[in-house]
Structure 1
């Protein structure tokens, strides 16, 4: 860059598939269609840093050979909230003479006030030198980061020379105490001296949405975080390749423990392809080692040799020795076919898949995380065998799974979760697991097994536009640490229908009563797989179905109900934008939820029909998505599914009012508008940060 003159920044973007390493011609193992959808263009925010001649470096090792700064806490006293906070700041002097600099750090609370300042002593930095400047200080009154209370601080590092600030760099982080134990009785994962059973989901690292792919604004990424926490999950295992910075910032903010990999496919490698994995793991550790939500580094999606695991563990010890994290991978075992005891001994945590690789030898030495269970699939649109318009899941000859939403969210979910929850460390019976991740979070266009019938994998708790499936509600109940209950399905059926009604209740519940219009139709004290209560031969009557949960003493502790709706009479549109509105920056997204509602404004749960959309104003209509209809994205129409869908619009660079109109045969049309707000740039650049969901949530 030449200061005082015009500079040209050129970006070349393409979507070339499977580009090999330029220096060697060797393909990257993880660069395959199986796990990484190909997106063209820029799919995330691009930041440009203009720094002085003496400056804090960035954590971009392969590109710049710099490591950035490392912030961590030690000697943590959980009761008093005191800890020694250390900053290891890498600084570089690109001037022709030596400089005498001072590095300090302000520990800033979320409200912007300075909690403490860590002061440093003057340091001489030779011309052209790059050096780590280390400063530490005991700080009291800290609020520690943990699931459910994800407290974050900004550590603002300040570089001064002669009392004049030359550079400043903020790092958002959190402080927490961790311990990782083996053993059936007192083993498991401890956060801030408290045993935590980790429960959640395995997610493809692309974590894309239908229609917009991987170009997801931060506020929508944070919507994922809010929904995941609403489902009472506290764990994500990102799969195969490293999760994006936006997704890890999301897990930091929402208190979700992350397993962060680097890059692999599903086999150990040798030669240059193994070296590529080691180099990428190093880079990932350096880049993400200040993110408090990461507790586990993932060395592979399948077993690796003891020698390779030792290499990976040594990377952690070299680049993240004080971050309270551990290195491991999926599928290693004391079985020689999966690395053997030496591989387990070299690892710091052990992952299994579908309970295939468990061993007592591993359990007694390391925390074991079930990394991927319940791989089955079901579409959101198919309630059960009794609901119109499909009356069951009508599938083609090559479809792998035939579960309805009720099957998937009820008997199947309870059985597969029980396999791991029922064997959790410090629990009853067999004690094996410190955590478990169900596949997946959101329906995803990863490497679909049935593209001739469905457009994506349907294993999600939410669909590909983040509308909750019944599975999201039942997992919320099973993962809840407070009393919770859910009636699976709806209560708007054809006349004379009789069916089994399933109710999911949390572990606090010991008896469930089922009532239809106030009259008891079932009383169950025997849960299947701890969570599922089933009531056969319930005859549908228009009105209300109620489930009531009782504790061991017979006291009512929770209840829920569902009500029959009338026929669909109208459409309803509800817009969703980032906090502060849709930015007229040419890339921001808004989405509209479209519902078919009855005369009282209640969503009609079995409506499934085409809705046509017309957008006016400064923006582009991107359309919606129906997973059972290939080619349905980016059309001017989309079907409701179970009475609801979502469609997307993209802002232009002109501010103004965008108005969306929705029409459907036989229903009153709906219209909704949003105002896009001006977005100012200077020479195409802005210092305005991305809008995040913490603001959206408020």
Structure 2
């Protein structure tokens, strides 16, 4: 966890509360990132405003008035969406699910600020809303946000009361194609096909109480502030040394000039102060805002990279007076990582280099909503981290977020799990002109400012499709203005030297080039820039349909409007190997034509976006996992294909009807040169010739009850890996397994627990072909949200669902009352199952708490 050393002279060794990636509270309260609290006491207090709102799903006149009676409205906590009940609920069309509610709604929250805060600065931050929010405090409109993507904030100092009750009222509006109020221009990315609709306050809300001389927030729209920028320079990887630079924006809103000193504590993950950087005193005139710059050469650093995502907390401290005898007035921590990144073109030395090492980037394209069935887009942060765990464990190191910027929670996840991110701002699938292009530039500016301390972001995406050379120059200039030193590149998907895709000038203006389905590759771009394949393997298949030989489906029989007809076996085996090989076999510094620096498979999780299973499924079925994050066979085969060590996976199961004979597929990593297939210890196949480097096929294997084993051998004939699957008996019972956030389920009104329900045989093994209805009853202080069957419209938020391949998952939401919650599952002919979780109290006083939301 890093070597403990004495900090710089004059700084006492201490342990910082909540080191990088952890959650804790100190005197300063919850931070902007939601991950750490400042160890240095100051006047800054950050309140978590997520609990205890009132909500109504309609537009109500005069709802902003403090005296408005909202007692009949629903009691909810944030994150919250009203589209959890109507998404994943109907068949997908070419524009996504069309029946979701898109309308104005209202939220109201009451709170009392302590009288002791009187005279201080008060700011609100929302981590995002879809699509617009008009915010009122005590009946006065404090601002409007319409971009629908980024975090945003408002100054409410002049509207709040101290020692008396306040009311925040928010009119949130996800109406389809809601135009910008001032210009009447629609936002290009406000579309449900590439940006699934989840209306409401779907992300964290917090309130900052700050001294009148303070560090600003990285929220440009409305507040016009840029926060603190932290970055390394002159990185010596082998010497574990770099110059750490801090550019902190400080504002003096007092009536007289103030002399201040900015310092920064660089804190290791074990809580020890690696170094303290102290600047010289600066005098700020009344009303002045200034960026104060610090830098210091620091040795003994650990660098962030995929596989070893080391994070530091840089705690910035603002003191009035000099560096020795000054009085601390403001302090807050920034969770970040230090690394070196280089982006090179060429067939031999080209590619992406992180910390002086060439890294082939491999992973997934992910819808930035990253939604779950049954809970929609209002996902507790600890569940977002489950994505990170699974993506990392599948040996992926890349996510290309699609069309709109990933949420702060998702980027905190990629920072923590060492997953390189391609972060867009907002677009659809074309360039734009006029006001729509200006909106894209403004949104990219906000994204750059907010996320530029996140080490996992290596790429900013200026467009999901090609843009003109002039527009690309604007975007690269924007990066040079707001993120000049972060080790990141600006580019977009589909630019090429072909004039139909921007031409050579667009390629020259970009800092990396993206392609889609290998359609936009060009040697001109390859020789000059790294090329990232942004989305491939679009073939779609559901988790429940194993193959052509497994009951109850015996193949994927589809409707007339369906484009793809693949079983899970097809999707995870022949198609996965063929589509991945196209980029793996042509990777930079690899075999073949050495084209690509990275590739992202579409998509990570089955989504509520547009799809090509028209009028047939309630989700687009391209994921490595399904819409509730149960692994599909494709997750295992991608794990193998991306593995840096020997690995293999037998695709499918080994519980078939008598007389079955079929091709058995085994996916093996590139280390394997021969796969032997054994049935109950006897060889039934031996394949020395992989298809597309990874896939081994064994035709006509007759099923026999027992165990099938695949054994992988290296080029020298030595066994290096093996895996087995075993026949199960008939299902005899149900089994429930609960899952909660670390520390348990919180009674905060928004936290989620989920239960895996399995049909198991007499030995407790999941029966892989069980598909039947299970009914659920819930007792205790929680709401049952149910689960999801993609082939059945109307399956969400019901007290029943079917198992699929022997398993499914249901969700509950905690209420504000702590206590024991018990779920019971029943199905005809199976022994019932019962499981319990206990929610823990979540204290809120006068509408306020400094206790953070649940995370990892």
TM over 0.5: yes
Q: What is residue 92 of structure 1 aligned with on the other side? A: 251
CA distance in 2, matches of 1:633, 1:8: 34
Aligned pairs (5 A) from 1:201-280: 201-280=364-443
- Counterparts of 1:8 and 1:415, CA distance in 2: 58
Indicate if the aligned counterparts of 2:227 and 2:248 stay in contact, CA closer than 8 A.
yes
The equivalent of 1:520 in structure 2 is 683
Q: Does 1:627 align with 2:786?
A: no
Q: Which residue of 1 aligns with 2:735?
A: 572
Q: Does 1:281 align with 2:444?
A: yes
Question: TM-score normalized by structure 1?
Answer: 0.99
2:343 is equivalent to residue 158 of structure 1: no
In the TM superposition, what whole-angstrom CA distance separates every residue of 1:260-317 from its partner, at most 9, and x where no partner exists? 0000001111111111101111110001000000000000000000000000000001
State whether residues 515 and 521 of structure 2, in contact with CA within 8 Å, keep that contact through their aligned partners in structure 1: yes
Per-residue CA shift, 1:146-172, capped at 9, x if unaligned?
000001011110001131111112111
Corresponding residue number in structure 2 for 1:696: none
Counterpart Cα distance in 2 of 1:17 and 1:116: 51
* Structure 2 SS opposite 1:248: helix
Q: Conserved in 2, the CA contact under 8 Å of 1:379 and 1:405?
A: yes
- Mapped to 1, the partners of 2:730 and 2:163 lie a distance apart of 68
The answer for the alignment partner of 1:595 in structure 2 is 758
Answer with 675-684 or 538-547: which moved more. 675-684
Deviation at 1:344, TM superposition (A): 0.1
* Larger mean Cα displacement after TM superposition, 507-516 or 59-68: 59-68
Quote how far apart the aligned CAs of 1:451 are. Answer: 4.6
- The CA deviation string for residues 417-469 of structure 1, in whole angstroms up to 9 with x for no partner, is 00000000001121100000000000000123335210010000000000000
Matches within 5 A, 1:520-559: 520-559=683-722
Deviation per residue, 1:481-539 (Å, 9 max, x gap): 10000000000000010000000000000000000000001111100000000000100
Whole-angstrom CA distance in 2 between matches of 1:416 and 1:500:
20
Q: 2:357 maps to which residue?
A: 194
- Please, which of 514, 535, 543 is the counterpart of residue 372 of structure 1? 535
For 1:299-338, list aligned pairs within 5 A. Answer: 299-338=462-501
Aligned partners of 2:565 and 2:666: how far apart in 1? Answer: 21
Deviation (angstroms), 1:59: 0.7
Return the match for 1:665 from 828, 837, 855. Answer: 828
- Out of 375, 386, 389, the position equivalent to 2:552 is 389
Partner Cα distance (2:542, 2:675) in 1: 28
Q: Give the equivalent residue in structure 2 for 1:109.
A: 268
Deviations 1:539-564 (A, max 9, x none): 00000000000000000000000000
Q: Give 1:48 shift.
A: 1.0
Q: Does 1:464 align with 2:627?
A: yes
CA positional deviation for 1:13: 2.8
Deviation at 1:17, TM superposition (A): 2.5
Match in the other structure for 2:572 = 409
Deviations 1:185-234 (A, max 9, x none): 01000000000000000011000000000111111000000000011000
Matches of 1:146 and 1:363, distance apart in 2: 24
Alignment partner of 1:133 out of 278, 289, 292: 292
Say which SS state the counterpart of residue 418 (structure 1) adopts: helix
Check the 8 A contact 1:514/1:521 in 2, yes or no. yes
Q: Alignment partner of 1:595: what SS?
A: strand
Q: Does 2:171 match 1:171? A: no
Aligned to 1:7, what secondary structure does the other structure show?
A: strand
Structure with the larger RCO, 1 or 2 (CA within 8 Å, 6+ apart)? 2
d(CA) in 2 for partners of 1:574, 1:233: 27
Q: 1:632-678, CA deviations, whole angstroms, 9 ceiling, x for partnerless residues?
A: 00000010000000000000000000000000011000000000000
Is the partner of 1:538 in helix, strand or coil? strand
| Alpha-carbon distance, 1:691 to partner | 2.5
Determine if contact 2:564/2:612 at 8 Å carries over to the other structure: no
Does residue 353 of the first structure (1) align with residue 353 of the second (2)? Answer: no
Which one of 58, 61, 68 corresponds to residue 227 of structure 2? Answer: 68
My pick for the range that moved more, 394-403 or 500-509, is: 394-403
Q: What displacement does 1:43 show?
A: 0.9
CA contact (8 A) 1:55 1:93 kept: yes
Structure 2: stretches of 5+ with no match in the other structure: 1-159
Partner deviation per Cα, 1:395-427 (whole Å, 9 max, x = no partner): 111111100000000000000000000000001
Is the 2:751–2:854 Cα contact (8 Å) retained in structure 1? no
Whether the 8 Å CA contact 2:564–2:613 is kept in 1: the answer is no
TM-score normalized by the length of structure 2: 0.80
- Provide the C-alpha distance between the structure 2 equivalents of 1:11 and 1:658, rounded to a whole number of angstroms: 32
Distance 2:545 2:600 in 1: 25
SS in 1 for 2:638: helix
CA deviations on 1:325-380 (whole Å, 9 max, x unpaired) are: 00000000000000000000000000000000001100000000000001110000
- Report the alpha carbon displacement of residue 8 of structure 1 after superposing the two structures with TM: 2.5
| SS of aligned partner of 2:221 | helix
